[in-house]
Amino acid sequence: MSAPSTPSRPSETVLADPAATVQAFFAALTDRAVPQALALTEPGIVWRNSGLPTLKGKMVGRALKGIDRDWMGFRADFHHIVADGDVVLTERTDYLRLGPLEIDFWVCGTFRLENDRIVLWHDYFSWTNVAGGLVRGLVRMARGR
């Protein structure tokens, strides 16, 4: 008997496991595979960020397509992820790269899923922590790391 095959693309990883769906979403973003990431969301997704305008539906896709540039990058390190039904809570460090500058900052996220797809992505972060990440990134860049 052969082992079950592993999905080869994040869009094939829509599971009844909401935490795995959120992790696959971030893996696709890290890989700059925006269409695959968006395949894990409902068309009417709502994306909220602390102190920034709320984006809905196609505007989320437009915003995420910005990371698909050679000079820009994104990744996230998950520290904690827990699911309770269709709600997933995350604690993570996000990294935004703009050319040689990489900014790291702490983020807590709430995700709500319906029909195994993300309908709400709400991130909470401190602008003070983002500013600290900018300073750390500038120091690393100045040191050549």
65 part of a folded domain:
yes
123 a catalytic residue: yes
Is 90 within a domain?
yes
Q: Domain of 107?
A: 10-142
pLDDT value at residue 50: 87
pLDDT tens string 87-140: 999 999 999 999 999 999 999 999 999 999 999 999 999 999 999 999 999 999
**65 conformational bin, left if phi > 0, alpha if psi -120 to 50, beta if neither:** alpha
- Set 68, 94, 104, 116: catalytic member: 94
Q: Are 77 and 92 in contact (CB under 8 A)?
A: yes
Give catalytic status of residue 31 as yes or no.
no
Can you give the pLDDT at residue 15? Answer: 55
In a domain? residue 2 = no
Q: Is residue 5 part of a domain?
A: no
Q: Any idea what the CATH number is for the domain that residue 127 is in?
A: 3.10.450.50
Planar angle of CA 107, 112, 117, nearest 5 degrees: 115
Total count of domains within the chain? 1
- List the catalytic residue out of 17, 31, 68, 123: 123
The CA-atom distances, in angstroms, between 136 and each of 67, 124, 129, 143 are 21, 20, 10, 11
- pLDDT, position 14: 47
Tell me, yes or no, whether 1 lies in a domain.
Answer: no
